[in-house]
Homo-oligomer: A and B are copies of this chain.
Amino acid sequence: MTYQELFQQIILKKSYLCVGLDTDIRKIPSHLRNAADPIFEFNKQIIDATADFCVSFKPNIAFYEALGPKGWESLQKTVEYIPKNHFSIADAKRGDIGNTSGLYARTFFDPESSGLDFHSVTVAPYMGSDSVKPFLEFEGKWVILLALTSNPGSFDFQRLGFNGSSLYEEVLKTSQTWAGPDRMMYVVGATQASEFRKIRTIIPDHFLLVPGVGAQGGNLEEVSRFGMNSSCGLLVNASRSIIYAGNGLDFAEKAKKEALALQKEMEIYLDKYCN
């Protein structure tokens, strides 16, 4: 999926919502637990219920691999089931030396090797350029690089200062030489909304994947006001607040209601700030 195609989907749906599939076998409704593949059955119903109100789905890989081989099978089925017009994100936070990152890229981008065919993968920047570039060798696929995260530990290193600039700003600056806004996005934590202005002076055009709206308590209005650019430039993720909105037979209906509410709010901000 290209930058323009993603923007077109945003305009069409009036939404920049990403639904995070952090599907925990311990948290799904009990009536699904006897299904042949409870994780996939849950995801299928969540995708069906929310697809009209979002432009992206983001399986959190940890939740699948924690279940061993059968978790990877549920993941394969889920990725295949995500509608082709939705931007798919493997939230995997991978990154290693060149030949190993090449294998991680095959994991998420080469269906003949792994059975998975995502549009994009999240990558950690700590090991530098040659740990990121192998992912970019897959034509048309995207890297979503960790920049500033929303967890307390983001203060340990990401915000340390180097000559007046912080580590995450260095990550934004240096990584721009690796790929343009047509192949790279950044993870930027929603609880840092006041910093979006600074970030947008460094990367005016890139899409930002913003976690933390919903269960982690980010403010969607603030994120949209400071983070949006003329191509929207935002994918705002909500996971638990949508997928665990209900826990009974009507869990998908409740998830739909949550996704619709976020889409309605996003429609207002697109009108107001996307210009």
Residues on A lying within 8 angstroms of B by beta carbon are 22, 24, 60, 62-63, 65-73, 76, 91, 93-98, 100-101, 103-104, 106-107, 110, 113-116, 124-132, 146, 149-158, 160-162, 167, 170-171, 174
Q: How many copies does the complex hold?
A: 2
Q: Could you tell me if B68 and A76 are in contact, using CB atoms closer than 8 angstroms? A: yes
Q: A67-B114, A72-B69, A167-B157 are in contact. Are A130 and B103 (CB under 8 A)?
A: no
Q: Could you tell me if B153 and A128 are in contact, using CB atoms closer than 8 angstroms? A: yes
When distances are taken between beta carbons in the complex, the residues of chain B under 8 Å from A156 are: 125, 128-129, 174
When distances are taken between beta carbons in the complex, the residues of chain B under 8 Å from A126 are: 124-126, 146, 157-158
Q: Could you tell me if B171 and A157 are in contact, using CB atoms closer than 8 angstroms? A: yes
When distances are taken between beta carbons in the complex, the residues of chain B under 8 Å from A67 are: 113-114
Q: Measured between C-beta atoms, what is the minimum distance from A102 to chain B in Å?
A: 8
How far does the alpha carbon of A30 sit from the alpha carbon of B134 in the complex, in Å? 27
Contact sample, A vs B, 13 pairs, CB 8 Å cutoff: A24-B103, A62-B96, A63-B100, A65-B107, A66-B113, A67-B114, A69-B76, A97-B153, A128-B152, A128-B154, A129-B156, A130-B153, A156-B174
How far does the alpha carbon of A146 sit from the alpha carbon of B102 in the complex, in Å? 19
Q: Measured between C-beta atoms, what is the minimum distance from A116 to chain B in Å?
A: 7
